[in-house]
C-alpha cells in the first residue's frame, strides 16, 4: 500500500487536482457545459472530484455507500455543504428515487474508478437513465481489468503483493494462492477476489453501454493514467493511436480510460 491510500486529505486533494486539470478539460473538449449545470457523482468517496465542480459554481450531489467516507467529505467540504453547493446521500443507488432523494435530475453524472467495482453492470447501467436530464451525459473513468494493476493490488499493505503487475490475471485458484504466498491475509484475499469478480475490460464496457442505450460521444485512452501525475509524479501520456485501435490488446497496456456517453436518442 502506498502512503497516500491512508491519507484521506491527500487523496481528496489529488482527486480535485486531476479533475480540474484533466477530467474537466476532457469533458469540455467536445461538450459545452449547460448553464447552472447539475452534477451527480455516484461513488463519490471523499468528494475531491465534486470539489472541482463546486469551485466552478455548479450544484453537486454525491452518493456513497460507505458512510465513513462521507464523514470525510462533509469535513473537507464544510463550507460547500453549509451554503448548499453540495449535498451527500448514503444510500444504495437502486433504492434512490431521484425526485424524492435528490430533488433534481442531472446534466452530468460521474463514475470515476467506480464501474469496475459494481456487480452486475448490465443491470446497473440502465439505471442511470433515471437520473439524467434530457441531453445529459455520463463520464466514466476506469482501469481496464487486464492492465498491469487492474486488480487494484496496489492497495494491499504487503510490499510485493502491492507492486507486482499482472498476477491478478492468474486463472482459477492460482490467483488466491499467489496472494496467500505473498502474505495477504484472508480478508485481503476476499477483497481482491471481489474486485476480480467485477473487473471490466474496454470491450465489455462498450457492449454494456450499447445494450443500455448509451452512445460514446468522446473517449480517451491513457498509457499513463492522469492520476499518476499526483500519485507518483509520472506525466500523463495518451495511448498510441494504433494501440487504442486494437481491441483486447489495448487492455493490457492502457492504464486508464475516459469515456463520455449519453443516450442514443440525444443530439450530439
Q: Could you read off the pLDDT of 103-146 as tens digits, one per residue?
A: 999 999 999 999 999 999 999 999 999 999 999 999 999 999 99
| 151 or 231: which leads in pLDDT | 151
Cell of 265: 436518442
Q: What's the whole-model pTM score?
A: 0.95
Q: What is the pLDDT of residue 109?
A: 98
User: What mean pLDDT is predicted for residues 55-80?
Assistant: 97
Q: What is the pLDDT of residue 265?
A: 76
* CATH 3.40.50.150 intervals, the chain: 3-147+200-263
**What percent of the chain has pLDDT above 90?**
94
Q: State the CATH class of domain 3-147+200-263.
A: alpha beta
Q: Which residues contact 62 (CB under 8 A, 6 or more apart)?
A: 40, 41, 44, 47, 50, 70, 73, 86, 87, 88, 89
- Dist. CA 16–CA 54, nearest whole Å: 10
Amino acid at each position: 500500500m502506498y502512503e497516500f491510500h491512508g491519507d484521506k486529505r491527500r487523496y481528496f486533494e489529488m482527486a480535485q487536482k486531476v479533475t480540474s486539470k484533466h477530467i474537466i478539460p476532457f469533458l469540455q473538449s467536445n461538450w459545452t457545459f449547460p448553464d447552472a449545470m447539475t452534477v451527480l457523482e455516484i461513488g463519490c468517496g471523499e468528494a475531491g472530484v465534486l470539489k472541482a465542480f463546486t469551485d466552478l459554481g455548479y450544484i453537486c450531489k454525491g452518493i456513497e455507500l460507505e458512510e465513513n467516507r462521507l464523514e470525510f467529505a462533509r469535513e473537507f467540504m464544510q463550507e460547500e455543504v453549509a451554503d448548499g453547493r453540495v449535498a451527500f446521500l448514503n444510500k444504495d443507488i437502486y433504492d434512490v428515487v431521484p425526485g424524492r432523494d435528490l430533488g433534481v435530475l442531472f446534466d452530468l453524472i460521474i463514475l470515476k474508478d467506480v464501474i469496475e467495482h459494481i456487480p452486475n453492470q448490465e443491470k446497473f447501467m440502465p439505471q442511470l437513465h433515471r437520473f439524467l436530464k434530457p441531453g445529459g451525459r455520463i463520464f466514466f473513468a476506469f482501469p481496464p481489468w487486464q492492465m498491469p494493476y487492474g486488480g487494484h493490488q496496489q492497495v494491499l499493505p504487503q510490499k510485493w503483493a502491492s507492486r507486482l503487475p499482472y498476477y491478478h490475471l492468474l486463472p482459477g485458484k492460482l490467483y488466491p494462492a499467489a496472494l496467500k504466498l505473498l502474505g495477504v491475509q484472508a480478508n485481503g484475499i476476499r477483497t481482491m477476489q471481489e474486485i476480480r469478480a467485477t473487473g471490466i475490460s474496454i470491450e465489455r464496457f462498450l457492449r454494456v453501454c450499447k445494450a443500455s442505450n448509451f452512445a460514446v460521444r468522446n473517449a480517451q485512452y491513457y498509457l499513463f493514467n492522469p492520476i499518476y501525475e499526483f500519485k507518483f509524479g509520472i506525466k500523463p501520456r495518451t495511448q498510441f493511436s494504433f494501440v487504442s485501435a486494437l481491441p483486447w490488446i489495448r487492455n493490457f497496456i492502457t492504464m486508464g480510460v475516459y469515456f463520455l456517453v449519453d443516450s442514443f436518442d440525444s443530439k450530439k
